[in-house]
Each structure stands twice: as structure tokens, then as C-alpha cells.
């Protein structure tokens, strides 16, 4: 019985030896806006962590709807920076965005 416990302990120790010592945090995110699809606006964006508390976001919007009675044909690009209070992608943040919007009448 004691010999089995020692063997089990050695096997578990060997299995856990290769695990990383530190957990890695999220450094990249890809997103889409599902509510914008309801108005036929296609949206995709990506965000990457620059440091422990700063991240940079780039998003694009495109709406190709153009009918005889309705014209919503526009495109937009949004660049944003975020300062996270705890660490990137965790908790609350302050952000600033620059947006370019182009449209066809």
C-alpha cells in the first residue's frame, strides 16, 4: 500500500513538472457587433494588449444598403486606445477613440 502511494506521488509529480509556472493572460481579441447586423451593418474589430495596462483597438464598419427609398451606404474605421485599471482585458477601463466616417448619398 505504501509503495503504491509513493509510485502514485512520483507519477503525479512527473506529470505536473512540465506545466507552466505562470498563467499567461489574454493579449489579443477579435470581435464583431451582433446588434449592428440588425441594420445590415457589417462590423469586425481586433484589439491587442500593448502593455499590462494599455491596449489598442482597430474596428471597421460597412453598410452597403442602398435602395430607392433608403440610402445607408457608409463605411467607417475606428482606432482606439484603452487604459485598463487592473490589467488588459480585465475589469474597467478608460478609452479614447478616433473615427473616420465616409458615406455616399
The boundaries of the domain holding residue 56 are 26-103
Q: Is residue 21 one of the residues assigned to a domain?
A: no
Q: Is residue 76 one of the residues assigned to a domain?
A: yes
Q: Is residue 93 one of the residues assigned to a domain?
A: yes
Q: Is residue 14 one of the residues assigned to a domain?
A: no
Stretches where the chain sits below pLDDT 50 are: 22-23
Q: Is residue 45 one of the residues assigned to a domain?
A: yes
Q: Is residue 10 one of the residues assigned to a domain?
A: no
- List all residues 6 or more positions away from 105 whose beta carbon is below 8 Å from its beta carbon: 71
How many structural domains comprise the chain? 1
C-beta separation of 98 from 83 below 8 A: no
Residue 60: predicted pLDDT: 93
Residue owning grid cell 474589430: 45
Q: Is residue 16 one of the residues assigned to a domain?
A: no
**What global pTM score does this model have?**
0.66
Q: Is residue 11 one of the residues assigned to a domain?
A: no
- List all residues 6 or more positions away from 61 whose beta carbon is below 8 Å from its beta carbon: 36, 41, 42, 43, 74, 75, 76, 77, 78
Percentage above 90 pLDDT, the chain: 30
Amino acid at each position: 500500500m505504501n509503495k503504491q502511494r509513493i509510485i502514485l506521488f512520483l507519477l503525479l509529480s512527473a506529470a505536473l513538472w512540465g506545466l507552466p509556472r505562470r498563467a499567461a493572460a489574454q493579449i489579443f481579441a477579435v470581435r464583431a457587433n451582433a446588434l449592428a447586423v440588425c441594420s445590415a451593418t457589417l462590423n469586425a474589430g481586433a484589439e491587442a494588449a500593448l502593455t499590462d495596462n494599455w491596449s489598442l483597438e482597430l474596428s471597421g464598419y460597412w453598410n452597403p444598403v442602398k435602395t430607392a427609398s433608403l440610402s445607408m451606404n457608409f463605411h467607417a474605421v475606428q482606432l482606439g486606445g484603452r487604459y485598463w485599471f487592473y490589467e488588459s482585458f480585465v475589469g474597467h477601463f478608460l478609452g479614447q477613440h478616433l473615427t473616420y466616417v465616409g458615406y455616399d448619398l
